[in-house]
Amino acid sequence: MRTILGERLKQGTATIAYPGQLPMLPPRLRGLPEITPSKCTQGCRACIDACPTQAFIGEGATLGIDLGRCLFCTDCMEACPTGVVRFTQDIALATRGRADLLLHADQTHKRAAALEEHTRRLFGRSLHLRQVSAGGCNGCETDVNVLSTIVFDLSRFGIKFVASPRHADGLLITGPVTRNMELALRKTYEAVPDPKVVIAVGACAISGGPFIDLPQVRNGADSVVPVDLYIPGCPPHPLTILDGLLRLLGRLPDAVVDDGKGL
């Protein structure tokens, strides 16, 4: 017993201190894109043509990117000869509105606002989610599952995943919503008691990802059910998912509270 306790003390605390302190991020992490149109060569469309999901908006001086379509694959960055696009290590990507994922060079990324006060009072201290994999590749699903490990310990924030939609406060959806999963998603949504929240995690759940516009998919969750939080990425880093969830619940110091008039 002494040996076991001694080894446990040597291990120290495994759970990260976030949101109090951001842990050391891997150098290859691809966070919020940064676009500098002033570096763009006249008439060059290298980054636009390289994008596998047509995530770019406009071109030249008006160049922007749809984070909901972006796979964070860096094909655009590698194709651009002048460095117009680069990926930062900013993990705060989640937004409340789909339009807020349209990022332009002259705009600040609008991070997710918290739920309106009444809903936040219901879910702010205890949020139970039913996870629905609507045809995903298991990338986003894996990063969602990681949040329940000792490193992230999602339960310390009162957020847990449950087996039944009857016991849930909302849904966390991954995958492009295949035609075969559409009815299942609708029924799962209807089985969650009101009021409820819906969270779309990953490029597939937001826009269809690499499968966008294929006849077998519905191009994301909001084509089937209303979505309250969008968390982009392919897949999003576990910290990006955690950051989005905490912002939705108003649990971060810089979180903005929804005034109830819509976003």
CATH number of the domain where residue 174 is located: 3.40.50.12280
pLDDT at position 224 over 70: yes
In 53-103, alpha helices (H): 75-79
Confidence at residue 230, expressed as pLDDT on a 0 to 100 scale: 98
Confidence at residue 121, expressed as pLDDT on a 0 to 100 scale: 87
User: Is the model's pTM score more than 0.75?
Assistant: yes
71 is a domain residue: yes
22 is a domain residue: no
Q: Tell me the percentage of the chain whose pLDDT exceeds 70.
A: 94
* Domain-ending residue, one of 73, 91, 109: 91
Please tell me whether residues 147 and 196 are part of one structural domain: yes
Please tell me whether residues 44 and 168 are part of one structural domain: no
**Helix, strand, coil in percent for the chain, rounding step 5:** 35, 15, 50
Confidence at residue 12, expressed as pLDDT on a 0 to 100 scale: 67
183 is a domain residue: yes
- Which range of residues forms the domain containing residue 83? 33-91
Please tell me whether residues 87 and 140 are part of one structural domain: no
Give the CB-side neighbour count of residue 204, counting CA atoms within 13 A: 25
- pLDDT tens figures, 131-183: 999 999 999 999 999 999 999 999 999 999 999 999 999 999 999 999 999 99
Please tell me whether residues 128 and 55 are part of one structural domain: no
Sign of CA dihedral 154, 93, 145, 166: positive
Confidence at residue 6, expressed as pLDDT on a 0 to 100 scale: 72
Please tell me whether residues 133 and 223 are part of one structural domain: yes
Read off the pLDDT band of 256 (50, 70, 90): very low
103 is a domain residue: no
155 is a domain residue: yes
pLDDT at position 72 over 50: yes
- pLDDT tens figures, 36-67: 988 888 778 899 999 999 999 988 778 899 99
pLDDT at position 257 over 50: no
Please tell me whether residues 144 and 80 are part of one structural domain: no
Q: What residues pair up with 229 in beta bridges, in sequence order?
A: 199
Please tell me whether residues 56 and 147 are part of one structural domain: no
First-last CA distance in the chain: 56
Confidence at residue 97, expressed as pLDDT on a 0 to 100 scale: 95
101 is a domain residue: no
Confidence at residue 43, expressed as pLDDT on a 0 to 100 scale: 76
218 is a domain residue: yes
Q: Give the 3-state secondary structure of residue 16.
A: coil
pLDDT at position 7 over 50: yes
59 is a domain residue: yes
Read off the pLDDT band of 89 (50, 70, 90): very high
Instruction: Tell me how many domains the chain contains.
Output: 2
Confidence at residue 261, expressed as pLDDT on a 0 to 100 scale: 41
Confidence at residue 105, expressed as pLDDT on a 0 to 100 scale: 81
Confidence at residue 8, expressed as pLDDT on a 0 to 100 scale: 67
